[in-house]
Structure 1
Amino acid sequence: RCALLGRRPQLLVSARLWPQPLPAAGSVPSAGGEMSFFFRAASRPRSSQQDLVRSIKDSLLALDTKTGAKALEDVEKNIFTLRETLSGDGEVEPNQDHVLQIALEICKEGVLSLFVQNLPSLGWEGRKDLAHCWCILLRQKVDESHCCVQYIENHVDLLDFLVVCYKNLEVALNCGNMLRECIKYPSLAKYILESNSFELFFQYVELPNFDIASDALNTFKVNPVLLIWYLW
């Protein structure tokens, strides 16, 4: 494995495994390319798509200040509405223009960070819906660029967080699903491959929990470079 990258992998220190605090939602993006997406339609009237994203953001932020089932119910209801908007409800097909607008608004408002940060707080259905939405959002292209992938490139701690969360049995499979979508994109796969947290996968594939070990191995198979590194 060392020969593949021409360097020795660094030893992991447990204190470095947990990612740094996630950026504050709605913080100003650090890259000019990302900025061009977010402010293109700044002068347009508020749309129902913007209202949906704002409701999702507000309900996720409220999890930090509210307690009880009501706050969680609001989050999961909003995420379910997002899922139906992105993928349709079985009778009505999604409006692609609305889907693209939602993807841009979610990046602008920092909701992708809130998704990852609050994933462990959700119930089983909520986590499943969130992972489903995550995969759809990453595939959205505006002017030949994947805006959500760009967002993650500028907030790579999200990838570290997802890798470390494999240790949490309740969310491991959801994290695996989200990571597999991420590493389909070369820039995100490159970051995972070169990060310290990548070495954790060699522990995960040997876990006694068959489901998690198999899921971690499946993550390698999504990207040939990762698989070669694993088999080297």
Structure 2
Amino acid sequence: MSFSFFKPLRPKTPQDVAKTIKDSLMALDTKTVAEVKALEKAMEEVEKNFATMRCMLSGDGEVEPNMDQVLQLAVEICKEDVLDLFINKLPILGWEARKDLVHCWSILLKQKVDSINCCVQYIEKHFELLDFLVVCYDNKEIALNCGNMLRECIKFPTLAKYILESPSFVLFFKFLELPNFDVVSDAFSTFKDLLTKHGTIVSQYLTAHYDEFFDLYEKLLTSSNYVTRRQSLKLLSEFLLEPPNSNIMKRCIQEVRYLKVMMMLLKDSSKNIQISAFHIFKVFVANPNKPGEVKLILAKNHEKLLDLLQNLSGKGADDEQFDEDKELTMKEIQRVSRLPNLAR
């Protein structure tokens, strides 16, 4: 039974709402066939209570939310450990309840008591909840709900930092190769936020986990899945070109293995991938401190590279800048190809 048209009565207090939500979620622990009817009733209660919570947090379309009640509800939800129940019961919730929960989640995380986000602070004391949300990407029924909730968490530096440094982070490299297009797209959105929202934190993570991260990332760039190749290449150019990651970029363009990956992607059947690869490839070429191995690869392959670049064109309004970059890149490749004594 859906309560999508249920209009909840305004509760007496936020304490009442938090307590009834907790009780109804805990009633979902039914395990036997004999208790199926009781489970159905409990699920109806959860939907009803979530609708009440949503009304208190964001109003009912006629009456605006009372901000004192909103804040108090966030406090009570933390006090009653309801945040824990929200996440751990997520896999068994119905569609309507999950929709209301995702809507309420972002509102709850923003509530501050004495300048402290109380729900964020709760999660900081229960980081395993973030790991649970990440793992839930493996469940296509709730993957998009979990993705929305994770991206709200990632807005906060401490939560983003934990996910990056958690063993569960490497699961994203698996999720980005899943066959379900909607799940992969959502996982990429979350992955992108993790790598772009907090520059300094990301730079520290990449510095400490450089080899592990780029070994895994290289597999995305060479994936047989077109969407995975394109999205990962586009994202790579975005976070590597961020100022906090300049040292990571300098390290990356010293390595022949990544130069070879970009050269391979320049030959991709997709023009979009070719263009994205060029924007990273040109940084290898423009590097004034190219190591000998990089110069040697460019020199040995200069004819093929020049042919590839000659036939590569930009898109729309960026054509002029693209052509200028391409011309400079080709000139540098030609210069390197004429250098004496490259081979050792």
* Count of aligned residue pairs for this structure pair: 186
Shift of 1:212: 0.5
Pick from 77, 86, 89 the counterpart of residue 118 of structure 1. Answer: 89
Shift of 1:194: 0.3
Q: Does 1:48 align with 2:13?
A: yes
RMSD: 1.7
Q: Normalising by the residue count of structure 2, what TM-score does the alignment of the two structures yield?
A: 0.52
Shift of 1:227: 7.8
Q: Which has the higher contact order (CA 8 A, sep 6+)?
A: 1
Q: Which runs of 5+ in 1 are unaligned?
A: 1-46
Partner of 1:42: none
* Higher share of residues assigned helix: 2
**In 2, Cα distance between the equivalents of 1:64 and 1:92?**
35
**Equivalent AA in structure 2 for residue 52 of structure 1:** V
SS in 2 for 1:83: helix
SS in 1 for 2:89: helix
Pick from 28, 36, 60 the counterpart of residue 67 of structure 1. Answer: 36
Shift of 1:190: 0.5
Asked if the contact 1:220–1:227 (Cα under 8 Å) also holds between the matched residues in 2, the reply is no
Q: Does 1:209 align with 2:174?
A: no
SS in 2 for 1:176: helix
Bigger Rg, which one: 2
Q: Does 1:166 align with 2:166?
A: no
Q: Does 1:133 align with 2:104?
A: yes
Overall identity of the aligned pairs, in %: 67
Q: Which runs of 5+ in 2 are unaligned?
A: 1-11, 207-216, 218-235, 241-344
Cα distance per residue 1:66-102 (max 9 Å; x no partner): 5331110001110111011101111111111000000
Asked if the contact 1:221–1:227 (Cα under 8 Å) also holds between the matched residues in 2, the reply is no
**In 2, Cα distance between the equivalents of 1:169 and 1:144?**
37
Shift of 1:222: 2.5
Asked if the contact 2:136–2:146 (Cα under 8 Å) also holds between the matched residues in 1, the reply is yes
Residue range with higher mean Cα deviation, 81-90 or 65-74: 65-74
Cα distance per residue 1:29-56 (max 9 Å; x no partner): xxxxxxxxxxxxxxxxxx6110111000
Partner of 1:143: 114
Runs (4+) off by over 6 Å: none
**Equivalent AA in structure 1 for residue 36 of structure 2:** T
**Equivalent AA in structure 1 for residue 120 of structure 2:** V
Shift of 1:132: 1.1
Shift of 1:125: 1.1
Cα distance per residue 1:156-188 (max 9 Å; x no partner): 110000000100010000000000000110100
Q: Does 1:103 align with 2:69?
A: no
**Equivalent AA in structure 1 for residue 58 of structure 2:** S
**Equivalent AA in structure 1 for residue 85 of structure 2:** L
**In 2, Cα distance between the equivalents of 1:70 and 1:227?**
46
Which structure 2 residues correspond to residues 173-188 of structure 1 after superposition, within 5 A? 173-188=144-159
Cα distance per residue 1:89-133 (max 9 Å; x no partner): 111111110000000000000000000011111111111111111
SS in 1 for 2:36: coil
Partner of 1:22: none
